[in-house]
Amino acid sequence: MSTTSPASANGGRLTKSFPVFDCDAHINDPLEIWSEYVAEADKEAVKSFYWQDEKQTILNGRSLVLGGASHYFRPMYNPIHMAGPQMGKAITRKLLMDIVAGKLDEQQVRQIEHDGPVDPHARIVDMDLMGIDQVMVVPTMMVMHVPFGENPEGARGFARAYNDWASDYCAASPERLFPAAWLPLQSAAYTVDEIRRTAAKGFRMGLVRPIDARHQYPNKIGAGGMMGNAGIGTSWDSVYRAMEECEMVLGMHTFPAPEPSAYYDGERLDYAVSPGELTSLASDPKVGQRIDPQALSFVFEAQAWFVQVLLSGFLDRYPKLRMAILESNASWVPSVLAHCDRLFKLYARERKTAATRLPSEAFAQQCFVSFEGDESPTFKQWRFFEDRAIWASDAYHTDGADVWTALREMIACDVPEATQAKMLGSNAASLYRIEPKQFVSDEAPPLDRPDWFPQGEELARFAELSRDPRANMAELVAMMTD
């Protein structure tokens, strides 16, 4: 059973013989969406919903929120533009330390940011270097903010503008770039219309974030289960029926838990919008135990949705629906599935809706879960994941990585070559109903970097020290001041 081919050694570099499909990578929502793609008739509604210009990003016409432009992050780098070719985690951490120490000027910071999140031609160059043949493109800051928007008409106008921009972005290389649809979930009727419109344009996935933004958790399939429906729609049920009809994948994409009061005019809520809020509520900054919401928010949002879907018979209700759990890691899935199977049997009499399959059976027939390249526990369970796991680079977000990183981890975990090909490519292509095509075979040699860029012995030493930063604080501080 070979594990070194199709990823075979080439002077320390790798060669692959199969197409790689990146199931979830990001763009940075550019200003052109608002300045060029919002229809004139929709501008006032979109301004009252979610609007961005050179100066600010405004939600619901009154709440200032964080946008994706680099000026929001200065003097630091823009984390939405970082993880491109040969940008490992040690490099990004060292660059952050150098910026904090005042070692990099604005021009140098700009040099380390990639243009691919807004420029498709630059992205193709980066994909070649990263070993990525095809990619599903997903937005960024919209996933955080837009679920909290109020105006259904604004939601419709904005979704159309974003999806038209994403379609044009991907048209630069239609065999390699594929857009995921943003849906105006403030109205079921508008969402159904947009599913059908984007499916006709070739979109293969529609995005939903599994949170309870304005009491709209996406399991509300009864009548009146969505806001903005007076005279114009019904419920989430019609959304999932439309996805089945159009063969559109339900992409459940998670995000760091929000500070809810920022979206509710400063009002403190008596319920959790995201399960990830627990990571902040349960931590105590006074004793140094604060946990950043990013630590577990992605996983908590995914697990809460995953469990209730599998135990409720949701997938029996929509047997043709295919669902992808995105940006939430994968190694937790086997144990949670086993627990769900046990509960499914234990509470069979209490279940109020019909469900004929065990959760593990429904998952195996209708679901996929994404993983990233450093998830060794997932690779060690490759027999479980080989038919249902799909690889995500998460580029260009700070923690993203290229496929060569994933291949090295897989080889180290003795993942067979045929399974590598499935998990890194053919599973996602099958999910999205896209013909797989290979454009890249060989890992590129090291890029030429300026002298100030972290590299060589200095980078290796920094990575070693960073394994235990408290014990090595003095030397790390010395690195900052040298």
Grouping H, G, I as helix, E, B as strand and the rest as coil, residue 77 is coil
Give dist(CA 35, CA 479) in Å, integer.
44
Confidence band of 7 (pLDDT split at 50, 70, 90)? very low
Residue 46 has pLDDT above 90, yes or no: yes
What pLDDT, on the 0 to 100 scale, is given for residue 331? 96
Instruction: Catalogue the E-assigned strands of 50-117.
Output: 50-52, 57-59, 63-65
pLDDT number for residue 422: 99
| Percentage above 90 pLDDT, the chain | 75
- On the question of pLDDT at 5 being above 50, the answer is no
Q: Which of 287-296, 306-315, 324-333 has the lowest mean pLDDT?
A: 287-296
Length of the chain: 482
- pLDDT score, position 50: 98
Q: What whole-number distance in Å separates Cα of residue 276 and Cα of residue 42?
A: 34
Give the pLDDT band (50/70/90) at residue 230. very low
Higher pLDDT residue, 462 or 296? 462
Return the percent helix, strand and coil in the chain, to nearest 5.
45, 10, 45
Residue 285: pLDDT over 70 = no
Closest CA to 80 of 395, 392, 294, 397: 397
CA distance 135 to 91: 24
Alpha carbons 387 and 385: distance in angstroms, whole number: 6
Question: 257: alpha, beta or left, given left = phi > 0 and alpha = psi -120 to 50?
Answer: beta
Report pLDDT digits (tens) over 151-186: 999 999 999 999 999 999 999 999 999 999 999 999
pLDDT at 222: 67
What are the residue boundaries of the structural domains of the chain, listed by start? 8-32+65-78+113-447
Q: Which residue, among 450, 304, 461, 438, has the nearest Cα to 16 in the 3D structure?
A: 438
| Most trustworthy range by pLDDT among 84-88, 283-287, 336-340 | 336-340
Cβ atoms of residues 239 and 261 within 8 Å: no
Q: Taking the CB of residue 54, how many other CB atoms lie within 10 A of it?
A: 9
Q: Report the pLDDT value the prediction gives residue 349, as an integer from 0 to 100.
A: 85
Token reading at 192: 């159904």
Q: Report the candidate in 256, 178, 240 with the shortest Cα–Cα distance to residue 208.
A: 240
Instruction: Determine the residue type at 217.
Output: Y
104-114 pLDDT tens trace: 999 999 999 99
Is the pLDDT score of 267 beyond 90? Answer: no
CATH numeric code, 8-32+65-78+113-447: 3.20.20.140
H or E segment to which residue 339 belongs: helix 333-346
The pLDDT tens digits of the residues spanning 68-92 come to 988 898 888 899 999 899 998 899 9
How is residue 231 written in tokens? 């005279």
- C-alpha distances in Å from residue 408, one per residue of 16, 49, 175, 332, 424: 11, 45, 27, 22, 12
